[in-house]
Amino acid sequence: MKKFLLIALVAILTNGCGVSERINIGKQGVFTVGGTVIHKEGIYDNSKFIAWDKQNETGQSYHADHAFVNYQIPVNANKFPLYFIHGYGGSGVCWEMTPDGRDGFSTLMLRKRYATYVMDLPGRGRAGRTTAENIVKPMADEMFWFDIWRIGLWPDFNEGVQFPRNPEYITQFFRELTPDLSNHNLDIPAINALADKIGGGILVTHSAAGYPGWKAAIHNNNIKGIAAYEPGGYVFPENEMPDPMESLTGTLSGIPVKMEDFKKLTQIPIVIYFGDYIPEEPSRNLGSENWRVRLQMARKFVETINKHNGKATIIELPKIGVYGNTHFLMQDLNSDVIADLLDKWLKENNLK
């Protein structure tokens, strides 16, 4: 049997419109990228037992700090695969599913014949084996995130929000969250390791993954474009830094990089998407304030990229008639519309 035998696995799934479709999968699986190995000196003694959760580490090894990747490659895949990177507090699951059972965003793009690689960053989700020392404390914070992610002002939902209001959906949504056991120094190397392993591809980042996405693209020529969903941080040339922006959630500042590095971002297409419920003026609402300054910083980032002959676009969904989106655009009820917009951008930039 050939190594790359076409499986021709036919998955009959139902999309959000209730229409049965077929996806022909040529290959799928999981692997890890990056990481470290710790070796303890000495000779391992296999005759001694202490306890299941305690070990004599002499002569033993510990593999950690890797990223976990789940991939699917359709038959007759498009030229460039998509690398999905999650944000703070989550894992790749946010790209793979929706809490009410609709197709996940990666599946929507798979239907459009893009190979998909969904990453759990080091110390998150299925890549929880880490060398960072952390204490995980249970902390009641879900009403805070409900507001920050612009679902509404707890317990009220934003008017017209593209987020299901039934209690079971909310329960499943919050159970997606995962402890963060990383020191965050390994995010950029993990993204680069994936790009190096697979070759040319498109980064699709969400929220806190925005900053490591910019940095990875600066140093890795295998990243051919970036689609960023509500990125939290932005890089700027060190001699063209924007003024810091104050908000209720703290001061947002650009992150300086050398001009020669910044200009590498001008060599690839970039698109940034923002959802709804983001005001232009200061607000007393934490979620509105947090994303007000990040949207304004995104505009400055795009302006600076294009000033240096780059090709960056910011799409503010309400301005094109797409309303009700939260911070989790990829899981909202209109995620199929969001996927169509990404597909359109990829086509327009010869990235399909």
The helix/strand count (H/E) of the chain reads as 9, 15
Please tell me the distance from the alpha carbon of residue 229 to that of residue 227, in angstroms, as a whole number: 7
10 — pLDDT class (breaks 50, 70, 90): very low
The pLDDT value given to residue 134:
86
Is the per-residue pLDDT at 11 higher than 90?
no
Every domain of the chain and the residues it spans: 28-45+61-348
The pLDDT value given to residue 2:
38
Is the per-residue pLDDT at 241 higher than 50?
yes
Residue pair 291/151 in contact by the 8 Å Cβ criterion: no
CATH number of the structural domain 28-45+61-348 = 3.40.50.1820
- The two beta strands, 116-120 and 61-74, are antiparallel
Residues β-bridged to residue 20: 14
Length of the chain: 352
Count other Cβ atoms within 10 Å, centred on residue 263: 16
**Average pLDDT across the chain, whole number:** 94
The pLDDT value given to residue 149:
98
Render pLDDT for 149-197 as a digit per residue (tens, 0 to 9): 999 999 999 999 999 999 999 999 999 999 999 988 999 999 999 999 9
Distance, CA of 33 to chain centre:
16
Render pLDDT for 261-289 as a digit per residue (tens, 0 to 9): 999 999 999 999 999 999 999 999 999 99
Residues β-bridged to residue 313: 271
- Its pTM stands at 0.93
Q: Tell me the average pLDDT across 201-228.
A: 98
Is the per-residue pLDDT at 66 higher than 80?
yes
Is the per-residue pLDDT at 15 higher than 80?
no
Q: DSSP letters of 98-113?
A: -TTSPBPHHHHHHHTT
Distance, CA of 284 to chain centre:
28
Q: Tell me the average pLDDT across 210-232.
A: 98
- Give the ranges where 139-186 is alpha helix by DSSP (H): 142-148, 167-174
The pLDDT value given to residue 348:
98
The pLDDT value given to residue 16:
41
Is the per-residue pLDDT at 9 higher than 70?
no
Please tell me the distance from the alpha carbon of residue 300 to that of residue 258, in angstroms, as a whole number: 17
Count other Cβ atoms within 10 Å, centred on residue 245: 16
Please tell me the distance from the alpha carbon of residue 66 to that of residue 349, in angstroms, as a whole number: 32
Exposure class string for 76-86: b at 16+ Cβ within 10 A, else e: ebbebbbbbbb
The pLDDT value given to residue 183:
85
The pLDDT value given to residue 332:
98
